[in-house]
Amino acid sequence: MLNIVSRISYCSCRYVTKINRNNAILPRFFMSKSFYLQEEWDKRKKSPILSKIDVDDLFCELDNQFNTNTVASALDIDLFANAISDENHIDEVEDLVHKLRFSTEAVNILDSTQHAFIRLFLSFGSSKELMRILHDRLNYGIFPDDYCLILLMDKFIKEKNYSDAAKVAVLPMLQEDFQNPIVKNMALYSCLKYIENPSPWYPQTEETKQIDEDEEEIKVRVRYLRNPYCDDHFDLVDPYHLIGKTFYMIGKKLSNNVGMMYQILGSGFFNKYSILKSLLESSLDSNKKPLLFKDGITLLSNYLNNLPGKDGDDNKPLEEIKGLLKKLETSGSFHEKSLLQLTEENLQNVIKERENVEIENQLKKYQEWELLRADLLEKQIQNLNREKQLLEIKDELKKIKEKEEELFFFENENKIDLINEQKYKSSGTKPVKTEKGGKNKKNSTTLDEDYIPPEITRNVA
């Protein structure tokens, strides 16, 4: 582990924009290549357990278990997810995780399963598919940990895919967990870059079916209409609302000018005008006015100006806020740096302090997961052997009971007749008593209902 950490370079080119001889600005990189731990991740396939797994056979076995018993072991699915080494099994692991989510084993899903799932889709799958799964928590239940959140956001930022980076950034907001400093600052950066250059949040679908204007309108009867309701958290779908709540939640944890600015941005994008008005008034009226950021105020003003207008008193709060923003713009008390620049600097400083810690923690997790996997596998084998032994004992007891009935037949003849009588009472048939020697008695009183006696003719002389 120490050798791995010692390989981490502290070259300043990792944290600042590099300029080549032609003064061309090269892309900025936040996390180093060592953070991705690709070599350490690939070593998992050499473990004594995963190296012996045939993924094709294992998938067939797991799929058969779901089809017959509607449940499969969470450990077996973890083994399958970690044993995959190519993109041919991406759809299969998605299907298994979806089925596991709706089984009784869902509560036992391992952290290593979710980590492997995210890495597989990040390496072989589509980012759109991964975003769809991560935001469909009900059907898949994949919750990225801090390491995966950083990994995803950093990769998307390097690809300038700020839409997916922002989608990852709002996930810890939904879980109300911003304890990790890198996650917190990288989420701010990702969301701010998306707000500066917005793109479609949801995949665009082309309508192939054209609706004929002359077509007759079809009405469908429904039992009831559900009243519209939004809990302002899990029901949020608008990207500005999601990002706004992320800004506001993180801003409250920062006790500086950056935190105040993000609270203002967050309450504005989240359309919480009463909170926004209170923040703006306190910024204007306080003796020691906080240094806000001109680019942040401009972003908020542009967003509010593009909102659809409302009639009458409904539009009054928005107009009051626009007036307060104009006062802020003319006050001239702005920070010398832009909000994006200061957010970048804060993120770089946190990465310098915390990157090695995150790498060491993740390496420890890899070792812990391997030990846990071996321990759970041993327990599962013991349980299977115990169940097998119980079945063998039951079969042996059944044979002993049958042998006992045969050996002690004469002593228990009356008891056996009583059991037979109770056994056949429900069927409506008359029990047949046994004779000595184990042979059935002929029941002379049992008559066939369909029996027709022969006609006897007497010859009269």
Q: Could you read off the pLDDT of 269-301 as tens digits, one per residue?
A: 999 999 999 999 888 876 666 678 989 999 999
pLDDT computed for residue 428 by the predictor: 60
Q: Which two structure tokens, joined as six digits, stand for 408?
A: 């002690």
pLDDT computed for residue 330 by the predictor: 82
Which is it for the CA torsion 375, 376, 381, 387, positive or negative? positive
Is residue 56 domain-resident? yes
Residue 32's SS3 state is coil
pLDDT computed for residue 423 by the predictor: 73
Instruction: Specify whether the CB–CB gap between 301 and 325 falls below 8 A.
Output: yes
DSSP string of 422-446, one letter each residue: HHHHTTTPPPPPBPTTSPBPP-TT-
Rounded to two decimals, the pTM is 0.79
Q: Could you read off the pLDDT of 192-240 as tens digits, one per residue?
A: 999 999 999 988 765 544 555 557 788 888 888 788 888 999 999 999 9
pLDDT computed for residue 431 by the predictor: 54
Instruction: Specify whether the CB–CB gap between 340 and 295 falls below 8 A.
Output: yes
Is residue 138 domain-resident? yes
In the DSSP assignment, the letter for residue 110 is: -
Rg for the chain, CA atoms, rounded:
36
Is residue 93 domain-resident? yes
Per-residue three-class SS string for 293-334: CHHHHHHHHHHHHCCCCCCHHHHHHHHHHHHHHHHHHHHCCE
Tell me how far apart the alpha carbons of residues 202 and 194 are, in angstroms, rounded to a whole number: 13
pLDDT computed for residue 287 by the predictor: 66
pLDDT computed for residue 17 by the predictor: 42
Which of 143, 158, 193 is a domain's end point?
A: 143
Is residue 129 domain-resident? yes
Q: Which two structure tokens, joined as six digits, stand for 454?
A: 């022969």
Residue 4 above 70 pLDDT? no
Q: What is the mean pLDDT of residues 410-416?
A: 73
DSSP string of 42-91, one letter each residue: HGGGGSTTGGG--HHHHHHHHHHHHHHHS---HHHHHHHHHH--SGGGHH
Instruction: Specify whether the CB–CB gap between 268 and 301 falls below 8 A.
Output: no
Instruction: Specify whether the CB–CB gap between 170 and 242 falls below 8 A.
Output: yes
Q: Residues near 73 by Cβ (< 8 Å), separated by ≥ 6? A: 105, 380
Is residue 114 domain-resident? yes
Vertex 338 angle, CA 351 and 349, to 5°? 15
Q: What is the mean pLDDT of residues 134-147?
A: 96
Average pLDDT, the chain: 84
pLDDT confidence band for 259 (50 / 70 / 90): very high
Tell me how far apart the alpha carbons of residues 30 and 19 are, in angstroms, rounded to a whole number: 16
pLDDT computed for residue 205 by the predictor: 63
Which of 98, 120, 143 is a domain's end point?
A: 143
pLDDT computed for residue 401 by the predictor: 84
Tell me how far apart the alpha carbons of residues 320 and 314 are, in angstroms, rounded to a whole number: 11
pLDDT confidence band for 435 (50 / 70 / 90): low
pLDDT computed for residue 120 by the predictor: 94
Vertex 332 angle, CA 329 and 335, to 5°? 100
In residues, how long is the chain? 461
Number of structural domains (the chain) is: 2
Of the CA atoms within 13 Å of residue 357, those in its CB half-sphere come to 9
Tell me how far apart the alpha carbons of residues 108 and 49 are, in angstroms, rounded to a whole number: 20
pLDDT computed for residue 210 by the predictor: 52
Is residue 234 domain-resident? no
Name the residue range of residue 419's domain: 372-423
Residue 12 above 50 pLDDT? no
In the DSSP assignment, the letter for residue 240 is: H
Residue 261 above 70 pLDDT? yes
Residue 403 above 90 pLDDT? no
Is residue 384 domain-resident? yes
Residue 442 above 70 pLDDT? no
Q: Could you read off the pLDDT of 304-313 as tens digits, one per residue?
A: 998 887 665 5
pLDDT computed for residue 354 by the predictor: 95
Q: What is the mean pLDDT of residues 325-343?
A: 86
Question: For the chain, what percent of residues have pLDDT higher than 70?
Answer: 83
Instruction: Specify whether the CB–CB gap between 151 and 36 falls below 8 A.
Output: yes
pLDDT computed for residue 16 by the predictor: 41
Tell me how far apart the alpha carbons of residues 334 and 283 are, in angstroms, rounded to a whole number: 12
pLDDT computed for residue 362 by the predictor: 97
Crossing angle of the two packed helices 74-83 and 90-101, in degrees rounded to 10: 160
Window from 178-182, 319-323, 389-393, 439-443 with minimum mean pLDDT: 439-443
Instruction: Specify whether the CB–CB gap between 20 and 26 falls below 8 A.
Output: yes
Is residue 253 domain-resident? no
Which of 78, 112, 143 is a domain's end point?
A: 143
Select from 133, 137, 169, 176 the least CA-distant residue to 150: 169
Q: What is the mean pLDDT of residues 396-411?
A: 81
Tell me how far apart the alpha carbons of residues 51 and 49 are, in angstroms, rounded to a whole number: 6
Q: Which two structure tokens, joined as six digits, stand for 300?
A: 């908020």
Q: What is the mean pLDDT of residues 247-252?
A: 96
Q: What is the mean pLDDT of residues 169-184?
A: 96
**CA 76 from centroid of its chain's CA atoms:** 18
